[in-house]
Chains A and B, each alone.
Chain A
Amino acid sequence: MLDWRADAGPLVTALYQAHGVGLIRLAVVMLGDRPAAEDVVQEAFCGLYRRWDHLADTGNALGYVRSSVLNGCRSVLRNRSRLHTGPGPEPGGPDSVESAESAALAGEEHRAVLAALRRLPARQREALVLRYYLDLPEAEIAESMGISPGTVKSTVSRALAALGRLLGENR
């Protein structure tokens, strides 16, 4: 009898070796935070491993884990937002990890754009990151986000307008 876990371990590990950095980068863009990004990616691959035997199309494993990473980011952001509304540290506070990331960035321009990006609703942010960072076609963005391609189009359009507004541009 096939031991699927023995079978899955090397495959999932190989997938991580090939795409782990790219997915951590995606999560860093979404979260602005390296440790949280690594946690999200780690858990996404663990989820893939646990469910490997149920995957009908293991060829789409990367798509599956990418969606899991987006979901994990959304969960972190949601909790961060909740924390932000109550007492306690502010995620964007001066001594938060945001500062550490910011210091590594090229300059004020990038910080301003990223700060504006992170003020968008999570799904608008996802749509922009998938479109302009990953350069995914609308169909793949739709698949990753679980919405129609037409909705992707309007969401991206709306998100760009909102981003322009936050950056003080007239669009």
Chain B
Amino acid sequence: MTTIEDRLRAATRAAADTVVPGSAPPLRLPGTEPRRGRVRRSGAGRRWADWAAPLAAAAAVTAVIAGVLMVTRLADLPQSRPGPPAPGTVHLRRAPSTANEAIPSYVVGLAPGPLLAAQSNRAVVRATASGAVLATLSPPRGYGSFAWVTAAADDRTFVLAAYGRGPATGSARARPAGNTTGFFLLRLDPVVGTARLTPLSVPPQPDLPGMGTAISGIALSPDGGQLAVAFGNAPGGRSELKLFDLRSGSVRVWRGAPSGGELAADELGANPMSWTADGRTLAVDQWVGLTINVHLLDTEAAGGDLWSGRRAVTFAHWPSGSVAGSAIITSDGTKIIAMAVTRHATQIQVNEFSASTGQALGTVVHLRYRRGAITSWPSVLWSDSSGSTLIVKTTRPGTKPIKNADAIPGAFGVITNGHFTLLPGIPAGEMMAW
């Protein structure tokens, strides 16, 4: 039987074989000949030609910027465009009055990086209701990008993970040998009108040798006192969770068995962890093949086996279940809420489960789509105490089926009383934290 992997290999190679050896056009390096604009090529339809130029121009600009960042990333060079020194303070504009007091006023987003989506070169503070940009922050000195963002429950406190070599330290101004992920507290003070980024006492987490970062998510506790850092593939091939006490600086570690699955969200960039309001329980997603288990971790324990916590809910993928997005525990600790794409991909559902028994409590929202319209994976990103108001990322209802085009990033919206309302100014495709 031909597997889908075989079909994929055959199809991609057939597409690649349309480019025959020796058919590459001559390379035109800048400054080596007069540049007269883009080379016209045969075979392109007029419609393509009409919009190819601006696209290619955009790609060109992106590639140049990307080059700068990629050299930094791969070749471990000092930062060519250092951001403001940490601690850094920028002006925070006043947020327009929100129309929905049931949701947080502020959101911090990381725009996809010019080279790698997971490496953002700016963090943007926005008003949730309008999307108005209130402040923009660059990565701290020594770091080339932001990689993760997470929020406390007070609507003012966030933690940003920055990625890069880190700052020079010591009299010899020695730099770390490789890239690391450093952690920074972002504090919004709307009264004074400042957004201030300061380094946390959490030690920077180094890359795996030759393999990049192993971090698969971060989650700040509701009171802002603890930071959970998930490592999807720590040394030894095992998942790991580190829980840093931001007041004392102590750390506790939970480790999974090497074959125990991966601590990661169902979707790239989504958060595999969520807290209850009392800070005593952390819900963590365990990936095992095409199954996701949500475990409830006792955060007052000394550490230990990552997967020994009670398994609250299991989500199975096709064919026995739905394709599920990442799950979240409500802050009162009673429910686990997850979004799912149904079998024929014509509905996205928001489903509730009992956190104590795992029993399905029901589907609170059905978003309906024409077949072929759902191309981004839904996730619950924020919940109020009981789960009656949610902020989600999902394919925008009313999206038309698309053919042979890139997937449209999920849009952000609020679900309350069974209805989805788009958050108009929050850009799709960014990593967001409320």
Which residues of A pack against B, CB within 8 Å? 5, 9, 12-13, 16-17, 20-21, 24-26, 28-29, 32-51, 54-57, 60, 63-64, 67-68, 71-72, 74-81, 83-85, 88-93, 95-98, 100-101, 104-106, 109-111, 113-115, 117-124, 128-129, 132-133, 139, 142-143, 145-151, 153-155, 157-158, 160-165, 167, 169-171
Question: Are B18's CB and A148's CB within 8 A?
Answer: no
* CB contact between A96 and one of B47, B70, B345, B407 (< 8 Å): that residue: B47
With the chains together, A58 CA to B233 CA distance in Å? Answer: 29
Q: What residue in chain B is nearest A121 (Cβ atoms)?
A: B407
Q: Which residues of A contact B231 (CB under 8 A)?
A: 148
Residue in A96, A106, A148 whose Cβ sees the most chain B Cβ within 10 Å: A148
A selection of 27 A-B contacts at a CB cut-off of 8 Å is A16-B27, A20-B27, A21-B20, A35-B48, A51-B67, A54-B77, A64-B74, A71-B115, A75-B59, A79-B55, A80-B55, A89-B50, A92-B403, A93-B47, A100-B43, A101-B15, A115-B404, A117-B12, A118-B405, A118-B406, A121-B268, A139-B210, A143-B211, A146-B73, A148-B231, A154-B264, A158-B267
With the chains together, A147 CA to B262 CA distance in Å? Answer: 14
Question: Are A171's CB and B15's CB within 8 A?
Answer: no
* CB contact between B27 and one of A13, A89, A142, A155 (< 8 Å): that residue: A13
* CB contact between A95 and one of B45, B71, B262, B345 (< 8 Å): that residue: B45
Q: What range describes how many residues of B lie at the interface? A: 35 or more
B166 at the interface (CB under 8 A from A): no
Q: Which residues of B contact A91 (CB under 8 A)?
A: 404-405
Q: For residues 331 through 384 of chain B, which have their beta carbon under 8 Å from a beta carbon of chain A?
A: 345, 372, 375-377
Question: Are B24's CB and A71's CB within 8 A?
Answer: no
Which residues of B pack against A, CB within 8 Å? 4-5, 7-25, 27-32, 38, 41, 43-45, 47-48, 50-52, 54-56, 58-60, 62-64, 66-68, 70-71, 73-77, 80, 114-119, 208, 210-216, 231-233, 239, 262, 264, 266-268, 287, 289-290, 317-319, 323, 345, 372, 375-377, 402-409, 429
Q: Which residues of B contact A79 (CB under 8 A)?
A: 54-55, 58-59
Question: Are A72's CB and B59's CB within 8 A?
Answer: yes
Question: Are B68's CB and A51's CB within 8 A?
Answer: yes
With the chains together, A55 CA to B14 CA distance in Å? Answer: 34
